[in-house]
Amino acid sequence: MLHQYSLANWMDTRPSTAVAIRAGVTLTADEFIVNVCQWKHTLSQHSGQRWVVYHSDPYEFLSILYALWYLGRTACIPGDNRPATITRLISEADGGVGEMDAGITLDLSKPNTDFAHTYCTNAELANLPPIDSQRVAIELYTSGSSGKPKSFAKTLAQFDSELHSLHTQFPVAEGATVLSTVSHQHLYGLTFRLLRPFSYGQPFLCELCEYTEDIYHFAQQQSQYVLVSSPSHITRVNELLSWSSLEADCLNIFSAAAPLNKADALCMSKLLDAPLWEIYGSSETGVIAWRKQVNNNQDARWRRLPNVTFEIDNQGKVKVCSLFVDKHSPFLSDTLNIHSDGSFELQGRSDNIVKIEGKRVSLNAIAQVLMSHEWVLEAKAFAITRKRTEVASVIMLSKEGEKQLMLAGRAGVIKTLRTLLLSNFETIVVPRRWRFVDTMPYNQQSKVTLTALQALVEQPALLKWPAIKHISKDTLNVTISCTIPRDLVYLDGHFDQAPILPGVAQVHWAQKYADEYFDISGKFSHLEVVKFANVIQPDEDIDLLLAFSPEKQKVTFSYRSEKGVHSSGRICFA
Amino acid sequence: MTALQNELKLMIIECLDLEDIDATEIDDADPLFVDGLGLDSIDALEIGLALQKRYGIKLDSNSDETRAHFASINALADLVKNHKSI
C-alpha cells in the first residue's frame, strides 16, 4: 500500500517518482517542479487572486494549479471551454490561464533546461513557500437549478481528507498508470484522474481516451493500469477487441457521473477482468458512496465511504456530513431510499437539473438562453429518452421567428438557435429535437407538463411551410423551388390514404410569400381566376411562381412541376 | 453518390436517431462533427459501435486516426472499403 503525500507538501515525494506519462515519455516529479516554477514565474508577472484555468493536457493543468497555489492564488475551473463560459468566468475573475483566447501561456521558445538554469535555481526550488492547505485552492463551476452556474470552493485539506477516505476503501496500487476517458476539468476527473494518483506517486496518462479503442491502445503500453471512466464509454465499449489477450493488468475500473446499468457494469468488469467500482458524489459534496454490482438478481445498493455520514432533516432532505463537503450546500439534490444498515438506493433528482451522458445541465439555463433570442417568445427544454437520453426543446416563436421559419424553414431556424446554444453549452446537451408550436400544451390546471412536452416530441414535427430548396427573385418576380413535406399540418386528416395539399393552403402560401417579397401597399381583397388543375402530393418537387403588378396591385401565382401547371390564380390587394 | 456512401448515411441517421436530416442532404465530403452535421462525442462512440456491428470493423488505432476516419462520409466509406478488401 502506498503512502499518501498531502497535496500541500507533495515535495516530500521522491524526486524520481513518475507524475505523468505523455506521448510515451515518463515525466518525473523533478521535471514537474521545473514546469511548475516556469508557470509560477510567468504568472508572477501578472497580479490578481483568482484565475480561470483551462488546459486539455492534465500535466500542464496540474502545473498551473500548483503555480497558482504557490503564489497563494485560487484556480477557477470551468467545466467546459465554450466561449461564453470562459468569457463570463473571466469577467468575474482576474484573468485566464491556459488554452483560451487571451489566456496566459508559457513561452515555449525557451527550452526547459535553460529555464531551469535561469529561474529554477536550487535555491528557488528549496525556497518554494509552503502552501496553506486551509486556503481555497480551487473553485469549480457546475450547473445550478436556477439556470445560473453555481460555484464550489475546495481547500487542499478537503481534497486530502477525501483522498484519504477513498484510499481506505480502495487502496492505491503501486506501479499502475491511470488511464481515463473523462476530463480533469470536472471534479470526478480532477479527483480520480489527477489528484488521487498524484498524491500517491502513481502516474497518470496525459492522453485522454476518447474512444474505448484508445483504452485498448494505451493499455498495451502499460504493465498495470487503473481505468477512470464513466457510463458514456462503459456502455459503448467495443467488445470485439481482444481485451483478454492484453498483457496489461487492469487493477480497478472506476465509473462515476451517472449510475451504470447492471448489465453494462458486469460486462465491462468481465471484459477487463477487473472490479468495477461505481462512485456516487456531487460537486457540492465530493465523494459519498460506492457500489459494485454482483451477478445476482438485484441491483447492488450504494454504501457510504469511510468518514461520510448522513443527517436527515425534517423535510426528508439528506445532509451529507464529511470533512470534504461544501459547508454552504451539504444537501443532496437526489432523493434516497436509505436502509437500516445505512446502504441506499437513488430515487431521482428533486430539481430541474438533468444529467445527459453524465454531464450536469440546467434545463432552465438552456431555456433562458433560447428566450434571449428575438425569434423566441417562449421556450421549454426537457430531457427525453429515446435511444439515449437527450435534450429536446418546444418553442413558441415570435413574429420575427415565424417569418424566419417561413423563409428559412425549420433547418434554418434550428441552425441559428443551435449556434447560439453552442457558444454556451457543450454539444452533448444541446437539443437534438425541436418542435415549434403556436401555443404551449397547457393542461386544465394551466400547467405545461413534462408528459405533454414529451408527447409533442414523440410525434413528427408538423410543418406549416414547404421545404424550400432554392429561391430566385427580382423586384417583380419570385420563383420558389420547394418540396412538399410529408409532415405538413395541412395534410393531417386530409384523405389519409392519398394526402393532397389543399387549395386553401396553396393560396395562403402564395399570399404570405408575396407579402414578404413584394412591396405591396394594400391588404388582401379578393381572389380572381383561381384554377386547381392537378393535385399536389407530398414529396413532389414544385415551383411556386409569383409575379407582381404594382399598378394593378395584383399578384399572379402558379404552382408548377414537371407534370405541368397544378394551380394558378390572382390575389388582389386594395 | 455510391451505394456504400448512401448506406453509411442511412446507418448514421438510424443509429444516432437523427431528426430533421435526410440522407440526400448529407454531403459526402462535409464534416460530420462540429460544423457539418454537428454530431457530438457520444455520436462518435455510437458510430464506432455501428461500424463494429455492421462491418466487423475494430478501431484499435489511436484517437487521431479514428478522428480522420470519422471526418466525413467519404472517409468512412474508405475505411469500410479497405476493411472489406483485407
CA distances from A351 to A286, A419, A421 (A): 19, 27, 22
Q: Give the chain B residue whose CA is nearest to the CA of A218.
A: B62
Which of B59, B66, B67 has the highest number of chain A CBs within 10 A, making it the mutation to test binding with A? B59
Chain B hits for A214, Cβ within 8 Å: 62-63, 66
Residue of A nearest to B57 (CA): A240
Residue A409 pLDDT greater than 90, yes or no: no
pLDDT band, very low/low/confident/very high, at A554 (cuts 50, 70, 90): very high
Which domain CATH number covers A517? Answer: 3.10.129.10
Residue A203 lies in a domain: yes
User: Which of these three, A318, A333, A349, is where a domain ends?
Assistant: A349
Residue in A211, A386, A418 closest to B38 by CB: A418
What is the per-residue pLDDT across A97-106, written as a single tens digit (0 to 9) for each? 999 988 899 8
* Model pLDDT for residues A295-335, shown as the tens digit of each residue: 888 889 999 999 999 998 888 789 999 999 988 888 988 88
Shortest Cα distance from A141 to chain B (angstroms)? Answer: 22
Q: Are residues A296 and A383 in the same domain?
A: no
% of chain A surpassing 70 pLDDT: 94
Cross-chain residue pair A240–B38, CB shorter than 8 Å: no
Whether A187 and A308 share a structural domain: yes
Q: Which residue of A has its CA nearest to B39?
A: A427
Distance CA B52, CA B27 (A): 23
**Residues 6 or more apart whose Cβ sits within 8 Å of residue A454:** A382, A384, A392
Last residue of a domain, one of A458, A487, A512: A458
- The verdict on a CB contact (< 8 Å) between A434 and B20 is yes
My answer on whether A322 and A218 are in the same domain is yes
Looking at the fold, whether A276 and A291 belong to one and the same domain comes out as yes
Tell me whether residue A330 is in a domain: yes
**The pLDDT of residue A494:** 53
pTM of this prediction?
0.81
Q: Do A213 and B61 touch (CB under 8 A)?
A: yes
Whether A3 is covered by a domain: the verdict is no
Question: What's residue A94's pLDDT?
Answer: 95
Minimal C-alpha gap between B5 and chain A (Å): 22
AA identity, residue A378:
E
Spatial distance between the Cα atoms of A438 and A318, rounded to a whole number of angstroms: 42
Indicate which CATH number applies to the domain containing A428. 3.30.300.30
Binary contact (A210, B56; C-beta < 8 A) = no
| Sign for the pseudo-dihedral over CA of A430, A434, A439, A443 | negative
Per-residue pLDDT reduced to its tens digit, A36-51: 988 998 999 999 999 9
Dihedral sign, CA of A483, A486, A488, A491?
positive
Whether A417 and A531 share a structural domain: no
**Counted domains in chain A:** 3
Residue of A nearest to B47 (CA): A236
User: Using a CB-CB distance cutoff of 8 angstroms, which residues of chain B are in contact with residue A207?
Assistant: 62-63
Distance between CA atoms of residues A569 and A514, nearest Å? 13
DSSP H helices in A4-100 = 29-44, 58-70, 83-92
Tell me what pLDDT residue A549 has. Answer: 94
- Cβ of B40 within 8 Å of Cβ of A426? The answer is yes
Instruction: Say yes or no to pLDDT of A416 above 80.
Output: yes
Residue A411 scores a pLDDT above 90: no
Interface contact flag, B19 A211, Cβ < 8 Å: no
| Interchain pair A388, B42: CB under 8 A | yes
Nearest to B20 among A209, A238, A410 (CB): A410
Residue A113 has pLDDT above 60, yes or no: no
Q: Are residues A39 and A105 in the same domain?
A: yes
Best B25, B47, B63, B69 residue to mutate vs chain A (most A CBs within 10 Å): B63
Tell whether A4 is covered by a domain: no
Contact A357 B62 (CB under 8 A): no
Q: Do B20 and A212 touch (CB under 8 A)?
A: no
- Hey, which residues 211-240 in chain A have their CB within 8 Å of chain B? 211-214, 216-217, 232-233, 236, 238-240
DSSP conformation class of A261: P
Domain co-membership, A263 together with A390 = no
Task: Tell me the pLDDT of chain A averaged across its residues.
Answer: 89
| Chain B, nearest residue to A457 by Cα | B19
CA-based torsion, A194, A197, A203, A207: positive or negative: negative
Q: Which residues form the domain of A551? A: 467-573
CB contact under 8 A, B60 and A213: yes
C-alpha span between A81 and A209 (Å, rounded): 19
| Structure-model confidence comparison of residues B48 and B62, the more confident one | B48
The alpha carbon of residue B77 is apart from the nearest alpha carbon of chain A, in Å, by 20
Which residues of chain B lie closer than 8 angstroms to A426, CB-CB? Answer: 40
Residue A314, pLDDT score: 82
H/E stretch holding A343: none
Q: Is residue A86 domain-shared with residue A100, that is, in the same domain?
A: yes
Cα separation, A100 vs A82, whole angstroms: 9
HSE value, Cβ hemisphere, 13 Å, CA-based, for A280: 23
In a domain, A453, yes or no: yes
Q: Nearest residue on chain B to A23, judged by CA atoms?
A: B62
In the listed set A406, A440, A458, which residue is the last one of a domain according to the structure? Answer: A458
Distance CA A113, CA A111 (A): 6
Shortest Cα–Cα distance, B44 to chain A (Å) = 8
Interface test with A, best of B12, B15, B16, B62 (most A CBs within 10 A): B62
CATH number at residue A106: 3.40.50.12780
Q: According to the model, what pLDDT value does residue B34 have?
A: 72
- pLDDT at residue A182 is higher than 60: yes
- Own/partner contacts of A359-363, CB < 8 Å, gap of 24 or more, are A359/A79, A359/A257, A359/A426, A359/A428, A359/A429, A360/A142, A360/A143, A360/A283, A361/A143, A361/A391, A361/A425, A361/A429, A362/A143, A362/A144, A362/A145, A362/A146, A362/A147, A363/A391
> Quick check: A428 and B46 CB within 8 A?
no
For residue A181, report the phi and psi dihedrals to the nearest 5 degrees: -105, 0
Measured between CB atoms, which of A217, A238, A427 is closest to B52? Answer: A238
Contact B20 A427 (CB under 8 A): no
φ/ψ of A265, rounded to 5, equals: -65, -45
Give which of B20, B19, B11, B21 is closest to B48, Cα–Cα: B11
Q: Tell me whether residues B58 and A233 touch, CB distance under 8 A.
A: no
What would the pLDDT profile of A161-178 be if each residue is shown by its tens digit? 999 999 999 999 888 999
Q: Does A386 touch chain B (CB under 8 A)?
A: yes
Question: Best residue in A268, A432, A459 to probe B by mutation, most B CBs within 10 Å?
Answer: A432
Residue A212: is its pLDDT beyond 60?
Answer: yes
3-state class of A117 per DSSP? helix
pLDDT band at A393 (very low <50, low <70, confident <90, very high): very high
Tell me the CATH class for B3-17+31-84. Answer: mainly alpha
pLDDT at A124: 60
What integer pLDDT is reported at residue B11 of this predicted model?
A: 94
Based on the domain organization, do A162 and A50 belong to the same domain? yes
Rounded CA gap, A184 and A57, in Å? 9
From the list B16, B46, B63, the residue facing A210 with the nearest CB is B63
- What are the grid coordinates assigned to B27, written together? 454531403
> Facing residues of A337 across strands?
A345
Give Cα separations from A158 to A2, A8, A135, A466, A475 (angstroms). Answer: 20, 11, 10, 60, 70
| pLDDT tens, position by position, A363-379 | 988 998 999 999 999 99
CA nearest A414 in B: which residue?
B20
- Shared-domain flag, residues A62 and A78: yes
Q: How far apart are CA A111 and CA A109, in angstroms?
A: 6
Element (DSSP H or E) covering residue A161 = helix A156-169
Quote the CA–CA distance of B43 and A426 in Å, as a whole number. Answer: 13
Mutant choice from A81, A240, A436 vs B, greatest count of B C-beta within 10 A? A240
Contact A216 B52 (CB under 8 A): no
Q: Can you say how many angstroms the Cα of residue A304 is from the centroid of all Cα atoms in its chain? A: 28
Torsion of CA A305, A311, A317, A321, to 10 degrees: -50
pLDDT at A284: 86
Q: What is the pLDDT of residues A510-548, one digit of tens each?
A: 999 999 999 998 888 999 999 999 999 988 999 999 999
3-state secondary structure of A21: strand
Kindly report the nearest CA distance between residue A209 and chain B, in angstroms: 7
Tens digits of residue pLDDT in A454-491: 999 998 888 889 988 889 999 899 999 999 988 888 87
